[in-house]
């Protein structure tokens, strides 16, 4: 019996202490509880960048292949070699070599000899025909034989030209001056010339002029324009900032896992040759630079209307939504405090640096802009902490 009285007394004492603590907490913190936070717009310089990553490559880059199939028997140019236009890079053996050229040269020689005979024979037969010494049918046959001999010479000359070209194609030559940045074959390797032709070399014409191929998100591509300045870094020199210029923004899109991107080309100068092909570049393109812009924190654009309305009811403030309709693009809503009223206003947005956003029109510089709200009063959280157990206290 005595034990039960002690338990009841302890329970009553706990409730009394909790109640008094709550009312004391409420009394001492009521004026400190802030259900919303406001700021006045600030004036600041703001820069906006489009960030992406891409791959460096030589601006003028040539992939060298072969017009004939065969086996690589000699290699004359290796990686990093400086080459000149028409310099032989490698030699291929197609199993025939110069034999086709020699065979057709022989046939052409015979054809020319036959043509020469037909030319002389035609002149002799024509003289006889003019004197009426031979029949017309005989002269027609002589004329036909001469024409056939002439056409055969032309056909063999064409065949010789083809055979000579095929032979010349066994010697792979550089299409221009440049630097070999990739030798992609080895001695003795078989190469193909049809279907998926074998790549032999990649040659950069001028490594002092490079470009970065960048995939830009569809949400950002509208802000990119030719001529904009860009800055980038590479992993090899993380503390060095390089500069470039947007040269082109392509219209063709690329879709990967439902993400739409567009290719942009950034021109880069590389006078000291520190930058190398296929380096990954982290790029920042400046798309806006505003001086003395009227700005609000980005949090002001993320206020939940329903939560703010609950706070207005608690504080007995009026709650007025904007009558204007938000358009696509740069329009958005923000909330301001005017006396004991929450008012929603439509503003035109400008540049943003990820923390602050420029307000172009629609906002007074003295406005009290709501940037944060608290959905639950602190005394509610205190009670939840005191009575969080399934069975009440404890």
Q: Can you spell out the DSSP letters for 27-75?
A: HHHTTT--SEEEE--EEEEEEEEEEEEEEEEESSEEEE--SS-EEEEEE
Domain boundary among 290, 318, 349: 290
With a cut of 90, say whether residue 375 has pLDDT above it: no
Residue 373 β-bridge partners: 36
- Contact between residue 333 and residue 346 where contact means Cβ atoms under 8 Å apart: yes
Tell me, yes or no, whether 324 lies in a domain: yes
Q: How many of the other CB atoms lie within 10 Å of CB of 268?
A: 23
The token pair at 241 is: 């900032």
pLDDT of residue 374: 82
Q: Using 50, 70 and 90 to split pLDDT, how confident is the model at 26? A: very low
Strand order in the sheet with 201-204: 61-64, 201-204, 178-183, 82-83
Q: pTM of whole model > 0.75?
A: no
Same domain, 151 and 216: no
With a cut of 90, say whether residue 31 has pLDDT above it: no
Same domain, 313 and 330: yes
Percent of the chain with pLDDT over 70: 86
Mean predicted lDDT score pLDDT of the chain? 86
Point out the least confidently predicted range of 54-63, 103-112, 135-144, 366-375.
366-375
Same domain, 266 and 361: no
pLDDT of residue 394: 39
Tell me, yes or no, whether 384 lies in a domain: no
Same domain, 78 and 184: yes
Same domain, 84 and 120: yes
Domain boundary among 270, 290, 310: 290
Tell me, yes or no, whether 229 lies in a domain: yes
3-class SS at 198?
coil
Report the number of distinct structural domains present in the chain: 3
Same domain, 152 and 207: no
CB under 8 Å to 123, separation ≥6 — which residues? none
Same domain, 66 and 183: yes
Range of the domain at 355: 36-45+293-378
| Residue that the structure tokens 């992609």 belong to | 184
Length of the chain: 394
Task: Give the whole-angstrom CA distance, residue 71 versus residue 83.
Answer: 22
Domain boundary among 190, 213, 236: 190
Same domain, 66 and 185: yes
With a cut of 60, say whether residue 119 has pLDDT above it: yes
Same domain, 182 and 86: yes
pLDDT of residue 193: 80
Query: What is the β-pairing status of strands 318-320 and 341-352?
Result: parallel
Tell me, yes or no, whether 346 lies in a domain: yes
Q: What is the mean pLDDT of residues 237-249?
A: 94
Q: How many of the other CB atoms lie within 10 Å of CB of 244?
A: 22
Tell me, yes or no, whether 195 lies in a domain: no
Quick one: 208 exposed, middle or buried, by C-beta within 10 A (0-12, 13-18, 19+)? Answer: middle
Selection from 239, 248, 290, 287 nearest residue 266 by Cα: 248
Tell me, yes or no, whether 242 lies in a domain: yes
pLDDT of residue 34: 80
Q: What is the mean pLDDT of residues 204-233?
A: 92
pLDDT of residue 27: 42
Task: Give the whole-angstrom CA distance, residue 205 versus residue 83.
Answer: 9
Given 3-state DSSP classes, what are the helix, strand and coil percentages for the chain, each rounded to the nearest 5?
30, 40, 30
* Spacing of C-alpha 35 from chain mean position: 45
Same domain, 67 and 54: no
Tell me, yes or no, whether 316 lies in a domain: yes
The token pair at 76 is: 């004359």
Same domain, 186 and 65: yes
pLDDT of residue 21: 47
Q: What is the mean pLDDT of residues 68-90?
A: 94
pLDDT of residue 328: 65
pLDDT of residue 326: 73
The token pair at 97 is: 């070599």
Q: Using 50, 70 and 90 to split pLDDT, how confident is the model at 331? A: confident
CB under 8 Å to 97, separation ≥6 — which residues? 167, 170
Same domain, 123 and 229: no
Task: Give the whole-angstrom CA distance, residue 89 versus residue 77.
Answer: 5
pLDDT of residue 52: 92
């Amino acid at each position: 019996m005595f034990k039960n009285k002690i338990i009841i007394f302890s329970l009553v004492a706990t409730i009394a202490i909790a109640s008094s603590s709550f009312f004391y907490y409420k009394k001492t913190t009521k004026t400190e509880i802030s259900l919303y936070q406001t700021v006045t717009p600030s004036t600041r310089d703001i820069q906006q960048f489009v960030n992406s990553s891409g791959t460096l490559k030589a601006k003028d880059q040539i992939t060298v292949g072969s017009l004939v199939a065969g086996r690589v028997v000699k290699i004359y140019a290796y990686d990093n070699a400086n080459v000149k236009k028409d310099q032989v890079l490698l030699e291929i053996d197609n199993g025939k070599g110069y034999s086709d050229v020699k065979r057709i040269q022989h046939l052409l020689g015979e054809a020319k000899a036959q043509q020469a005979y037909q030319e002389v024979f035609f002149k002799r037969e024509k003289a006889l025909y003019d004197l009426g010494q031979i029949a017309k049918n005989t002269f027609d046959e002589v004329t036909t034989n001469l024409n056939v001999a002439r056409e055969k010479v032309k056909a063999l000359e064409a065949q010789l030209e083809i055979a000579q070209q095929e032979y010349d194609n066994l010697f792979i030559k550089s299409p221009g001056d440049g630097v070999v940045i990739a030798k992609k074959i080895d001695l003795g390797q078989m190469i193909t010339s049809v279907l998926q032709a074998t790549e032999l070399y990649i040659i950069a014409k001028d490594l002092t002029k490079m470009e970065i191929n960048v995939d830009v998100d569809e949400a950002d591509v509208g802000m990119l324009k030719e001529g904009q300045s860009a800055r980038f870094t590479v992993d090899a020199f993380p503390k060095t900032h390089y500069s470039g210029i947007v040269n082109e923004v392509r219209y063709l899109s690329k879709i990967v896992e439902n993400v739409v991107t567009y290719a942009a080309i950034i021109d880069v100068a590389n006078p000291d040759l520190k930058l190398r092909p296929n380096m990954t570049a982290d790029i920042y393109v400046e798309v806006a630079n505003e001086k003395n812009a009227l700005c609000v924190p980005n949090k002001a654009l993320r206020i939940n209307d329903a939560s703010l309305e609950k706070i207005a009811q608690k504080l007995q403030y009026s709650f007025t939504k904007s009558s204007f309709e938000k358009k696509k693009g740069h329009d958005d809503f923000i909330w301001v405090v005017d006396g004991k009223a929450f008012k929603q206003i439509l503003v035109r947005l400008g540049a943003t640096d990820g923390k602050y956003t420029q307000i172009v029109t629609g906002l007074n510089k003295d406005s009290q802009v709501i940037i944060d709200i608290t959905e639950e009063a602190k005394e509610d959280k205190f009670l939840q902490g005191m009575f969080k157990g399934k069975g009440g206290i404890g």
